[in-house]
């Protein structure tokens, strides 16, 4: 296993833990490595029920990644209205949506060739 793969796996696991900590919903991981000309290796997509929860999910992810991996996102955008916040960790990009915004943009369909993994949540 390469260092990049190991680091990506750790980052994904830590991000998912951050989402689950504040009960983020409908968590999907899209593996984009087999697709040409992508900006990153993985998308993690989830949703919150309000702008308050979307902000809480983003905050939880940042805390978990900072505490566990001593890393922070290269770029974050969308925090003004918190309908869709994008967190860029270079090879892993996190999309935190409110449901109606996620349904509208339907990123999973846009990246239909990607291998998708659904994370089962117990809440």
Q: What local confidence, expressed as pLDDT, does residue 100 receive? A: 97
pLDDT in tens, the chain (123 residues): 555 666 899 999 999 999 999 999 999 999 999 998 898 999 999 999 999 999 999 999 999 999 999 999 999 999 999 999 999 999 999 999 999 999 999 999 999 999 999 999 888
User: How far is the C-alpha of 62 from the C-alpha of 18, rounded, in Å?
Assistant: 8
The token pair at 34 is 């087999």
Question: Which contacts (CB < 8 Å, 24+ apart) does range 102-110 have?
Answer: 102/26, 102/45, 102/47, 107/30, 107/43, 107/45, 108/28, 108/30, 108/45
Question: Cβ(60)–Cβ(22) under 8 Å?
Answer: yes
Continuous segment of H or E residues that includes residue 67: helix 51-69
So what's the pLDDT on residue 7? 86
Q: Has domain 3-111 been given CATH number 3.30.460.10?
A: yes
pLDDT, residue 3, reads 56
Domain boundaries, the chain: 3-111
pLDDT in the model for residue 101: 97
Q: What is the C-alpha to C-alpha distance for residues 6 and 4, in angstroms, rounded to an integer?
A: 5
**pTM tops 0.75, yes or no:** yes
The pLDDT, as a whole number, for residue 123 is 84
pLDDT value at residue 122: 82
93, 87 Cβ separation under 8 angstroms = yes
């Amino acid at each position: 296993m390469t260092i990049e793969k190991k680091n990506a796996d750790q980052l994904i696991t830590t991000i998912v833990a951050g989402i689950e900590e504040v009960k983020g919903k409908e968590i999907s991981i899209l593996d984009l490595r087999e697709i040409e000309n992508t900006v990153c290796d993985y998308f993690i997509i989830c949703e919150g029920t309000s702008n308050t929860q979307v902000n809480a999910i983003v905050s939880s992810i940042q805390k978990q990644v900072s505490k566990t991996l001593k890393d922070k996102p290269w770029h974050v955008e969308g925090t003004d209205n918190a309908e869709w916040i994008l967190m860029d960790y270079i090879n892993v990009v996190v999309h935190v949506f409110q449901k109606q915004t996620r349904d509208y943009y339907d990123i999973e369909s846009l990246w239909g060739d990607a291998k998708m993994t659904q994370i089962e949540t117990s809440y």
